[in-house]
Structure 1
Amino acid sequence: MAPTLNLVGAGHVGRVLGRLFAASGAFTVQDVLTRSAGSAREAVAFIGAGRACSEVAAMRPAQVWMLAVGDDAIAPSCAALAAAQPLAGAVVFHCSGAKASGELQAASDAGALAASVHPVRSFADPDAVAAAFAGTFCGIEGDAAALALLEPAFEAIGARLVHIDPAAKTVYHAAAVFASNYLVTVLDAALRAYQAAGVPEAVARELARPLALETVANVFRIGPEAALSGPVARGDLATVARQQEAVSHWDEATGRLYEALLAPTADLARRKRGG
Structure 2
Amino acid sequence: MDQQRSGASRRPASRLAVGVVSAGRVGSVVGAALTRAGHRVVAASAVSDDSLARAARHLPGAEILTPPDVVAAADLVLVAVPDDAIAPLVASLPVRPGQIWVHTSGALGAAALRPARDAGALTVALAPAMTFTGRDEDLERLGGISWAITGEAEARFVGEALVLEMGGEPEHVDEADRARYHAALVYAANHLMTLVNDAADQLRAIGIANPERLMEPLVSASLDNALRHGDAALTGPVSRGDAGTVARHLRALAGTDIAETYRAMARRTAERALESGRLKSADAEGLLDVLAHPDTEESQ
Correspondent of 2:224 among 205, 217, 242: 217
Cα distance, 1:135 vs structure 2: 1.4
Q: 1:141 touches 1:163 (CA, 8 Å); kept in 2?
A: yes
| 2:243 aligned residue | 237
Correspondent of 2:26 among 5, 8, 13: 13
- Residues 1:60 and 2:72 aligned together: yes
| 1:144 aligned residue | 153
- Using structure 1 for the length normalisation, give the TM-score: 0.82
Distance in structure 1 (CA, Å) of the matches to 2:172 and 2:149: 5
Q: 1:129 to 1:190 in 2, by over 3 A?
A: closer
Distance in structure 2 (CA, Å) of the matches to 1:259 and 1:45: 45
- Residues 1:100 and 2:109 aligned together: yes
| Aligned alpha-carbon RMSD (Å) | 3.0
Cα distance, 1:201 vs structure 2: 3.0
Distance in structure 1 (CA, Å) of the matches to 2:220 and 2:53: 43
Deviation per CA, 1:63-121, whole angstroms, max 9, x where unpaired?
3221111222211110112xx333x3332110112222211122222232221111222
Q: 1:233 touches 1:269 (CA, 8 Å); kept in 2?
A: yes
Give percent identity, aligned residues only.
Answer: 32
Correspondent of 1:200 among 205, 208, 214: 208
- Using structure 2 for the length normalisation, give the TM-score: 0.76
Correspondences of 1:159-170 after superposition (within 5 Å) = 159-170=168-179
Correspondent of 2:266 among 262, 266, 269: 262
Deviation per CA, 1:156-192, whole angstroms, max 9, x where unpaired?
1212222223322222222232322212222233333
Q: 1:192 to 1:31 in 2, by over 3 A?
A: closer
| 1:3 aligned residue | 16
- Specify the SS of the correspondent of 2:89: helix
Distance in structure 2 (CA, Å) of the matches to 1:259 and 1:36: 42
| 1:78 aligned residue | 90
Q: 1:260 to 1:10 in 2, by over 3 A?
A: same
Q: 1:258 to 1:64 in 2, by over 3 A?
A: same
Cα distance, 1:231 vs structure 2: 2.0
Distance in structure 2 (CA, Å) of the matches to 1:144 and 1:119: 20
Q: Unaligned stretches of 5+ in structure 2?
A: 1-12, 281-300
